[in-house]
Amino acid sequence: MTLLYFCLVLAAAVLASAVFDQLVRGVSMPLIQIAIGAVLALCGVTVAGFEVDSELFLVLFIAPLLYQEARSVDKVALWSNRIMILSLAIGLVIVTILVVGFLLNAIQPSIPLAAAFALGAALGPTDAVAVAALGQSAGLNKRQEILLSGESLINDASGVVSFQFAVAALTTGAFSLVDASASFAVSFFGGILLGLALAAVLSFAVARVRDLGLEDTTFHVLVDVITPFFIFLVAEAVHVSGILAVVAAGLIMSFFNHRIGPDVARMEIVSSSVWQVVTFVLNGIVFVLLGMQLPFAMSDSWADRSIGNLELVGLVLAISAASIIMRTIWFQGINFVGRKQRAREEQKNSGGTPEQVRAVLKSVKFVTGESLREAFALALAGPKGAISLSIMFTLPYMVGGEYFHERDLLIFLACGVIVLTLLLANFALPLLLPKREEEGFETDTQAVIDVLRAVIEDLSARQTKENRRATQVVMKQYSDRIARIKSGLDDEPDEDDAEMRRLVLKWERDFVQHAIDAEEVSPMTGYRMLNRLAETEALMNHNRDIKWLLGVARRRISMEVHSIKRFLVDKVPMMSASDEEREMRELQAKSLESVMSKLRELLNDPAYRTEDVSALMVEVQRDLRRCKRIGRDIGTVARVEDRATEVRRLGYALELEHIQRMYESRRISRAMAKYMRENVALMQLDLEDKV
């Protein structure tokens, strides 16, 4: 039970961090989670004595995180910048290992050189979540974002493989460069090849299951979630790199999925949502554990008389400075090479002679004020995080049959470097690369247009021969919405139009309530209808506060009470789902007919504009025709969903996804995101009412 309570505390801490992240701007999520973990530790919830098998920790945290990173990365951009990314992900990691290892061993000789190299290997990878969060506060351009995201993906694998070799040298006490190079090549390339092969096998198996018609959403999501664990365990069983196998599988997996369509797209949306939760929880748990580990590791190191507190702080600062300096020099070299390449191309394109080209290349300086500022900023934009801490937790407790006393010290140093680099990235980087003023919140109109355009692009990519006509109909509807917004016709309705729509909802409520009182409809159906109308009005008014929530709860309780009372007192038989749905459609059709008659009367009312009443009559008439058509064949509709309706449903889901992305990237305000979500919810509710 103690382990269960501990897991629940971690889950609650991650959940709390999601709330604080929405309230506290200017502080990245990892820092919030670390702070929550530290508070828990100070309150007595510590990780003292918490031990986990090294292999279990790798497969539980690192494998799924890297797999999802690899799946979602921009493959085209990754390939276009492959040379620079590989230099960062492999070359810079190796240099960091050597510099940190020799520096730490020279300052603190009690730490074995192999253990110091292990710390350098753990600090080689950059944290992908923290790097992604930097784009929200700093003015990174597209090229810089590609370099940082590609580096954070691949250097995880190189750091883990290097760490494993350093730990092997630590535990065995022997190291051979030839043997290590051969083992590294087998592990490196063997992991990649095995990952590609397993990805192909799994994709083939899933395709055969689809061909048999045995696949459903649950199957699809479970296969996605299980894949990284399966690939990692198989790779480790055959003694190749499980991390590289997972990364290779994630990179290639999307190329095997050629099927598109509403059903497959819906499963992809569900899978994406599941993975968002899984990766957020796993990253959150690791950072909360970091915060909980800090006081514990700090107290042990502080109590250790063999090393002073100032020396501990000095070690953290020295290792952090060495890592940042090496990254700065490396990015300065990349910048220098890039400037020379651009100068060569400009001279060649302008018809310069070879001598002129050489002269121009010689004039390119290695360091300029602007290049140094950018290099230093990009060096700070590589904070350490979840992967580094996860790797350090796998350090062995026993070395050579004796307790490894330096383990706590190395974890403390890693924690200190992680916190320091996160703080620098969060607070210093925006000063070096500030966001331009025009990169703030977008205008409301432009934000809506961007979301609708993104949905059109997504729907276009999901077209198949079977759903092309339905998809094009929905895409045209989105194009019409964009056109109306640009012409100013799709802004928030004016007060007269809104008041008229509220009046229509009141007429429908009165009609349904009268039908319930006159026992013309079953109470369950009637109160379901009233509840939908109330939700529609609340969404239209954008009034979803605590009173709205209490009102919804009260109406639902009232509906259930009246239905049970009618069943017990009047012995009204329970209806089947299809009969209840048919009665709902018939009630809706009758209420719309009543509304149509009242709208005709409004045509002669000078208080209302004729064009507004006519436009509303067209909408009501369209909905009435749809209800009557569906009502004649509700059984068929229940079994086979209309393709256009399915595509609309998919479009609304994509809208919500793009709205969330815009909010997370701080392109829209929280109020605007809430307003846009409620508009989509209103359209979803309207769609479900008509199906």
Write the secondary structure of 418-446 as one string of H (helix), E (strand) and C (coil).
Answer: HHHHHHHHHHHHHHHCECCHHHCCCCHHH
Q: Does the pLDDT of residue 545 top 80, yes or no?
A: no
Give the β-pairing of 402-403 and 398-399: antiparallel
Q: Which residue has the higher pLDDT, 309 or 122?
A: 122
Measure the CA–CA gap between 679 and 691, rounded to whole angstroms: 19
Question: What is the average pLDDT value for the chain, to the nearest integer?
Answer: 76
In the three-class reduction of DSSP (H, G, I as helix; E, B as strand; rest coil), residue 474 is classed as helix
596 φ, ψ to 5°?
-60, -40
Question: Mean pLDDT, to the nearest integer, of 75-98?
Answer: 85
Q: Does the pLDDT of residue 496 top 80, yes or no?
A: no
Share of the chain above pLDDT 90, in %: 9
CB neighbour burial string for 575-610, b if at least 16 within 10 angstroms, e if fewer: eeeeeebbbbbbbbbbbbebbeeebeebeeeeebee
Residues β-bridged to residue 398: 403
Q: Does the pLDDT of residue 100 top 50, yes or no?
A: yes
Q: pLDDT confidence of 638, banded at 50, 70, 90?
A: very low
Quote the pLDDT of residue 489.
Answer: 47
Q: Tell me: the pLDDT tens digits for 276-304? A: 788 888 888 878 877 787 676 666 666 66
Q: pLDDT confidence of 265, banded at 50, 70, 90?
A: low
For the chain, which domains are there?
25-439 (1.20.1530.20), 440-491+644-670 (no CATH)
Any idea what the Cα angle at residue 234 is, between residues 232 and 235, rounded to 5°?
65
Quote the pLDDT of residue 322.
Answer: 94
Quote the pLDDT of residue 297.
Answer: 62
Quote the pLDDT of residue 116.
Answer: 93
Q: Is 351 exposed, middle or buried (0-12, 13-18, 19+ CB in 10 A)?
A: exposed
Q: Which two tokens stand for residue 508?
A: 């429908």
Helix 142-172, helix 386-393: angle, nearest 10: 10
311-320, 651-660, 680-689 — most confident range: 311-320
- 8 A C-beta contact, residue 357 and residue 347: yes
Q: Tell me: the pLDDT tens digits for 595-633? A: 888 887 876 777 777 766 776 777 777 777 767 655 444
Residue 38's CB is within 10 A of a number of other CB atoms, namely 19
Quote the pLDDT of residue 326.
Answer: 93
